[in-house]
Amino acid sequence: MERIRHELRLSETVSPFGVGAIVDVRGESLIAPDTSWWHKKSAPEISCPRLVDRLGGGVLRQAPAHADRAGKEAPSLLYWRFPAWRFCERCGGLSKLTGKDKGRWRNRCDCGGGLVPMRYVAVCTQGSHIQDIPWFMWAHRGHDDGVTEAVRFCRAYKELRFVRSTKHGEGLASLRVVCGGCKRSRALSQLLGRDALLRDGIKCDGRQPWQEEHEGSACEHRLVATQRGATGNYIAERLAALDIPEERPQSEELAARIRNHAFFAKVVSDNGGPQAELVASWIAADLGTIPEEVLRVASTADEESPPLLDLKDGEWAAFQKKLGSGRDRSAGDFVVDGWSVEPLPAVPSSLTARLTGVGQVRRVREVRALRGFRRHDAAADFVPADLDRAPHHRPVYPTVELFGEGIFLRFDEAEISAWEALPEVRQRAAILMDRRAASPWAQRLDTPEPRFVALHTLAHLLIRRLAFESGYASAALQERIYANSERSDKTAGVLIYTAAGDAQGTLGGLVRLGHPQKLLPLVLAALDDADVCSNDPVCIESDRQGSSQLNLSACHGCSLVSETSCETSNRLLDRQLLIGGSAVPGFLEPVLRSLRDGGE
């Protein structure tokens, strides 16, 4: 029997239709099984050692792809039909059966009507499992007087129908599952409720839809009925890395020089005694650092290997090396023309004092991988992208490689450190920190310290402005924020780039705007756009906007962009921390003040 074939873009196999996601395509509802179902010969391996190390080992593989129209023998991915229960849009028949026509499967009923997936599915509240609602069983359960002996023992499996009856009201009360054998009728409104399925004796199977029954494990958590397209049904965890020549941050380079010093062994052997402090002061004087740093390195000397660097640490170090070097004549997938920002006639000096380096990223390769997913809640159990439990098996992660261009901005560390030390600034950022700490799922987001919120907001303003100047739609642009004051090497920078597997990302419209003479006026224009929001004064005076109130003075009228463009899905934004407010000095407020005054 010939299978039904559909097409997806290659990047959609990682986001948004990766392993475990429900895909609606041409009226059908499908779910992607884990990578143990992939044919490894048709799934090419992707190389990115930085990302593999961050994932803890494994293999990165890209889904099978084809350039022209897919033939019968074209490599493909297997998707499972889910939910399996569908009703006929013509006769209302409700079943799991799929029509056949001349040796091919058809998504049609025997009467000729199209089969439509049922709207509701059952999701486990803790185990991240998902399953069909057993509609025949559910229709014959309940706690009303209509559950008679004839209903309990009904076996009219082929006479179940899904109908709409306005006699019983509107909304879900009008949508009913009816049995033609025992005449039992039950409204979908009875599905909803915390323990609605539990009261009907419907329990969790402890597995995913594509797994066999013997692969499931006992799950005692309750099920809830949700719409199959609900956002909470699929909470993916993805990781992306830029393919760059791995550079060591300055703190790691200093630590290596300390370990190689001739007197370092004496510091370790004394184990924090008075002699260690004396020798540490000698080493510090030789290397131009402080004794405390030498003692810190000595305290970690017994570790077998240095701790794994965060992906952004290595990227920041690579950008730092490129900036200020002018035109990049190197080859490869990481080509950056670095420029120091010099005073310009029409640009306020307050901006050039804060923005110290700009990089024109002429070519960059980004590798994105799907780690796994959760369902219903961010605190639910994690389901990996590869469910193969064979011994010595290397997990396979769905991956896509994208090529593009971008603009990198580096800000002065002394300026931003002095600004974020102000009590008013820290008090404003503490609002977001408290809300992030109070929300279990929000703790996956970056720490909203003042520099992160300010630079994140600036990145959004630049994306909105670049959409008018670069030739790319705002949804094609993405951000990568380097803003952390807790690391040994403090970071303060923004990368705005476009990366795609097709023509977008190689047009050159973005990188040409990265030269300081063109970029600085764009920054000024972006700040001028943010000075007044169409929702002011409500927006600028607000501190409770966005999902879980994780935005302050930021709304669709001034700061929000496409969620796929943002690292935090349009959260942790605040115009006041960037351009200032009534009681909060903004990081770039002096620049905006100069624009208002029309001078330096």
pLDDT digits (tens, 9 = 90+) for 269-305: 766 667 777 777 777 777 778 877 777 777 765 544 3
Q: Lowest-confidence range among 72-81, 252-261, 587-596? A: 252-261
pLDDT band at 307 (very low <50, low <70, confident <90, very high): very low
Return the top range by mean pLDDT from 150-154, 310-314, 365-369. Answer: 365-369
User: Does 35 score more than 90 pLDDT?
Assistant: yes
Percent of the chain that is helix, strand, coil (3-state, to 5): 35, 20, 45
Q: How far apart are CA 297 and CA 301, in angstroms?
A: 6
Q: Lowest-confidence range among 85-89, 166-170, 345-349, 593-597? A: 166-170
Q: What is the pLDDT of residues 330-373, one digit of tens each?
A: 878 888 999 988 888 888 999 999 999 999 999 888 999 999 99
Burial class (CB in 10 A: 0-12, 13-18, 19+), 47: exposed
User: Does 22 score more than 90 pLDDT?
Assistant: yes
pLDDT of residue 372: 94
Return the top range by mean pLDDT from 212-216, 444-448, 587-591. Answer: 587-591
Q: What is the DSSP string of 531-590?
A: HS-TTTTTTTT-S-BSGGG-BSS--TTTT---GGG-TTSS-S--SHHHH--SS---TTHH
pLDDT of residue 489: 80
Write phi, then psi, for 488 (nearest 5 degrees): -60, -40
User: Does 306 score more than 50 pLDDT?
Assistant: no
Q: What is the pLDDT of residues 404-438, one digit of tens each?
A: 899 999 999 999 999 999 999 999 999 999 999 98
The H or E element that residue 227 is part of is strand 223-227
**Mean pLDDT of the residues in the chain:** 86
pLDDT of residue 8: 80
Please give the average per-residue pLDDT across 139-153, as a whole number.
Answer: 86
Q: Which residues pair with residue 105 across a beta bridge?
A: 100
- Say which residues have a Cβ less than 8 Å from residue 495's Cβ, sequence separation at least 6: 319, 361, 406, 407, 408, 409, 479, 480, 481, 482
Closest CA to 266 of 255, 254, 256, 279: 279
Could you give the residue ranges of the DSSP H alpha helices within 311-449? 311-322, 349-354, 413-420, 423-438
pLDDT band at 60 (very low <50, low <70, confident <90, very high): very high
CA distances (Å), origin 233, targets 22, 189, 375: 9, 20, 5
pLDDT band at 167 (very low <50, low <70, confident <90, very high): confident
User: Does 12 score more than 90 pLDDT?
Assistant: no
What are the structure tokens assigned to 136, written together? 């025949």
Please give the average per-residue pLDDT across 82-93, as a whole number.
Answer: 91
At residue 376, what is the residue type?
A: H
Do the beta carbons of residue 133 and residue 202 sit within 8 Å?
A: yes
Q: What is the pLDDT of residues 546-560, one digit of tens each?
A: 888 999 999 999 999
